[in-house]
Chain A
Amino acid sequence: MASSTLDEPIRIALIEDTDVVVEGVRAWLAADPQDRVVIVAAGDSIEAVLTGPGESVDVAVLDLELNGTMVTDRVAELSDLGYRVVVFSVHVKPLVVQAVMKAGACAFLDKRTEREQFVDTVVAVAQDWPYVTPSMAGGLLQGVRLSDRERQALQYLFQGMDQGSIARRLRKPDGQPVSVTTVKTYIERARAKFAAAGRPCRSNYALLARCVEDGLIRPEEVDDYRPGTA
């Protein structure tokens, strides 16, 4: 299901009960000059969207509230079925973010403020990159042991800074700012630690495998890492 290159556009299923949001997402995808993402199925029911063409999508984008009902508890089920789940919701409380991430969601997008990151997030998730949005940073800050630098980088990300600004505030012992790559590493390592401490599900294995492949984390750092399953 993973698409390691972008020779073909990433296929997503959009589970969303508000038509205007579906239309908005279509517009953002159409505005992407590289046409990296296409919607193959959309609707307000998990079952309806994920049958037929939606069954073999690269990423399932899920609104947490469908027709007035919270579907937070369905995230684990979808992750176990092998879907890469991106939660797209207004329920951005860090505890909610943390809960869906622990359940196996690959990313969380705040509907109100992180729309511009929609395409980038979906592309990153489809390739199992350890991508972290500012709303995710609030959830990652808790529940996992982080180094001071990783915590600091996540705090600044949660506060709304971009990686360039974070790099300027995180200084080396000699007073020089760290590089943007270093900041990215701190954040991605934090994401990898969270995945390692999370549920044993396909999305977490795939992300950890990617992190090991990229040298972001060593296999022995992941207690339950099993390469064969990724």
Chain B
Amino acid sequence: MNTEFKIVKAEEIIDEAQRLKFDGYHLMQQCSTRTADGYELVYSFGKALDVLQVKIILTDGQPINSISHVFPCAFLYENEMHDLFGIDIQMISLDYKGKFYRTAIETPFK
């Protein structure tokens, strides 16, 4: 398992996703972790049994573009990150507008 994380700027994520897709990678998962002044997003891409991890550092309130137009399955992970952490992800191909998870409190992981 590759334990290294490649740091990518938020505004470069679509380019990075397109490059990885061209190289034959598929999207394995996207997740978020709360930090003191924002969020760390980890996107995992796989090719056969190899893994490439991409990390994006976001400040509070900083938006990021969706990669669901590059990897269609991303819409699930991105709606999850929006509903649990309140991350502003723009242009999700299927945007549930905060109704993906029926949680008792809004953005419970924020």
Q: Does A pair with B? A: no
A interface residue numbers (CB < 8 A to B): none
